[in-house]
Amino acid sequence: MPHVILKMAAGKSKAEKQMLAQALADAVTSTLNCDEKLVSVAIEDIEVSDWKEKVFIPDILGKPELIWKEPGYDPLS
Q: Residues 33, 28, 5, 73: is their CA dihedral positive or negative?
A: positive
Distance CA 14, CA 65 (A): 31
H or E element in which residue 41 lies: strand 40-46
Among residues 2, 58, 64, 71, the one annotated as catalytic is: 2
Closest C-alpha to 6, from 46, 35, 38: 46
2: annotated active-site residue: yes
Residues catalogued as catalytic: 2
